[in-house]
Amino acid sequence: MISDKIQEAFNNQIVAELYSSYLYLSMSAYFESINLKGFAHWMRCQVQEELVHAMKFYMFVNERGGTVKLSAIDGPSTSWASPLAAFQDAYAHERKVTGLINSLVDLAIPEKDHASNAFLQWFVTEQVEEESSADEVIKKIQLAGEQGGGMFMLDRELAARVFTPPPETATL
C-alpha cells in the first residue's frame, strides 16, 4: 500500500510528466512553424517519451493500491527566439525534472518505502539520458551555426529519431 504522502507526490509527478509532454508538443509546433520538420519530429518522439513517463507513475500508483487523481496542466510557452533557445529551454526543463525525481526519492527513503525507491531509480537513470540528449542537440546547433547548411543537415539527422515504447506501456 502506498502512503497518502507518496500518492500525492506521485500524482503531482504524473501531471509534471504530462506538462513535459505538452511543452515538447508546443516546441514541435514551433519547429513546424519555422519549417524544421526533423526538429519537430524529434520533439514529437520526446512527447511520446513523456507520456510513457506519466503512464509509468499512473500504473505504479494503481499497482500499489493508490488512487490516481489528475489536476490541471499549465499551458506551455508557444514560441521561442530560436531553435537554440527552444533546446536550451528543454535542457533547463529536464534539469528541473531531475530535481523533482530526486525530491521523490528523498520522500520515499525516510518512509522506508523500498518499492517506490526501487521504482524511482529507473527515473534517476532516465534523467541522465534526458538531460544529455537535450544538451547534445544544443551542442550540435552551436556547431551548425543556427542557420544555413549545417542546420539543414541537423534537421535531417533529427528526423531519423525513432521512438520505441517500452514493453510495459506498448499496449496502452
Query: Which residue number, 31 or 144, has a Cβ lying nearer to ligand FEO?
Result: 31
DSSP string, 111-137: TT-HHHHHHHHHHHHHHHHHHHHHHHH
Query: Which residue number, 43 or 154, has a Cβ lying nearer to ligand FEO?
Result: 43
Binding stretches for ligand FEO (CB under 6 A): 17, 20, 50, 53, 94, 97, 130
Coil vs helix vs strand at 2: coil
Query: Which residue number, 41 or 53, has a Cβ lying nearer to ligand FEO?
Result: 53
State the residue number with the nearest CB to ligand FEO.
53
In whole angstroms, the minimum distance from the beta carbon of 24 to ligand FEO comes to: 8
Residue 146 φ/ψ region, left for φ over 0, alpha for ψ in the -120 to 50 degree band, beta for the rest: left
Which cell goes with 93?
526543463
- Residues 66, 96: Cα–Cα separation, whole Å: 26
Query: Which residue number, 40 or 97, has a Cβ lying nearer to ligand FEO?
Result: 97
In whole angstroms, the minimum distance from the beta carbon of 97 to ligand FEO comes to: 5
